[in-house]
Structure 1
Amino acid sequence: MEKPREWLREKSIAKKVLSDADVIFEIVDARIPFETRNSVIEQLAKERNKKLVIVMNKADLVPQWFARKVKKIIEKEFPVVLFSSHKNIGKREIDNLIKELSHKKKIIKIGVLGYPNVGKSSFINALKRKRVATTSPKPGMTRGEKLIKLYRNVYLIDTPGIITLEYQSDLALKCSWIPDKLEQPVEVAQKLIDRILRERPEALEETYGIEPDEEPLKTLEKIGKKLNYVISGGKIDLERAARKVLWDWIKGKIKAYWI
């Protein structure tokens, strides 16, 4: 039976960064903003009286009305910036915020925290205007903290993905776990498809050119058949189809989103 993943290392990193940093940028996935918010980080920031800004990354993957709606909700608790490193959304707003902060102290350290694969490294590279952090669609590519000089007196603290005590299957739905490492990819893909069927079923039609079924497993079978993932005896290779769906979700190919 699957056990929740231990996160002692991540918790110690989060606490250290929250102690060292003057400001925290919490990066979340704009498609699933509430699921990728880290309540532990936010609570620790409040306890330490640190300014926390939520950066809704991958804002280019959701409609503007959706992004604005989410922003309005979260702003009741924290400042929010809509951001996309690919479409150059929100960069000026972040730059202005950093400049404003940099006038207040001689040296400013900004901690960049969030779940694996929410785009922390892409965010840092966009601010730095060159590649200084490793980017990959594979969750968990950043190893250990790194101090990156942004301006004369401004430093960014890049960190590995910070996760709490959660199951691999739940992390996979947040794009924070590599599908190839899942023990039960078919079950996880069914959970994801079920959610998409409830929130935006047309996303599956757009991505795979199939008519989704009300049953997640039947929809997965249709996807496998469409992709010609067939094994001996003409059966659909459901595990291969499941991993494909989960990778497409991680890479932003399935245009679904929800609150």
Structure 2
Amino acid sequence: MSGVSMGVPPQSDHLDQTADSTKPAQHQPHPPALGHVMGSLRVIELQLVAFIMVFSISGLVPLTDLVFPALISVYILVISRLAFPTLGSSTKSPELFRESRLFRLYVILGTTVGLFLPLAYVLGGFARGDDHAVRSATPHLFLLSFQILTENVISGLSLFSAPVRALVPLLYTARRVVVIIDWVNDVWINKTLPATAEFQDVAWFWFGRVLAVVNLGYFSMNLLCFLIPVFLPRAFEKYFKERDELHAKMAEDKRYPQQSDSSKKAE
């Protein structure tokens, strides 16, 4: 997520704000903890790159999903320059949501449902020789890995405004919902259980079915009930508020020299 942010977008914004707060020395009450967090992010990013490379060369990800991250990256770069550039010195990521216990539980649930369990499902499919399970869940894992990596990279830079940061999880999640629908079709319609299946085979069969449905429900809700109606509008609200404040300050700065020149001439 970064939304499933590491996955969830607000949390990546919060991490970026934490990173920015390390610049003044007086705002470093716990530098070892911060270093531990940032170091953990670097390790996670390396692991995601490894996942992406394995998924890419495995032949299990369709060409459309392989091309999608490249197209999104180009689009993000374009709109970050033409539509929603950063506003002067206001380059730090705004904190759109205050971290709460309920929000942390939401993020943990999304990470478990969207990343850890599907990864276990794919690895279990390799171990059991279940190519159908591996091929069904891999595109979702590939796109989610790219989403998390993109959000982490963007949150560590000061080149992207709040609307651009908010669009990353929204676009990736919208695409992944379509991919998860294909996953649901694969495990519920295209995959059948042999009549002589043992208990372990039945449990594995239903684990794949339930996991696909749970992912579809979670990320559909994340997209339709959080990212579109809540997170994206709040990002735009923050951006346009900062833009209006910047324009007002610039106009005031322009008026001040004029008033100063007129007072000098009067003297």
Aligning the two structures, in what range does the TM-score lie when normalised by the shorter sequence?
Answer: under 0.3
Structure index of larger Rg? 2
Bigger relative CO (Cα 8 Å, ≥ 6 apart): 2
Greater percentage in strand: 1
* TM-score, normalised with respect to structure 1: 0.24
* TM-score, normalised with respect to structure 2: 0.23
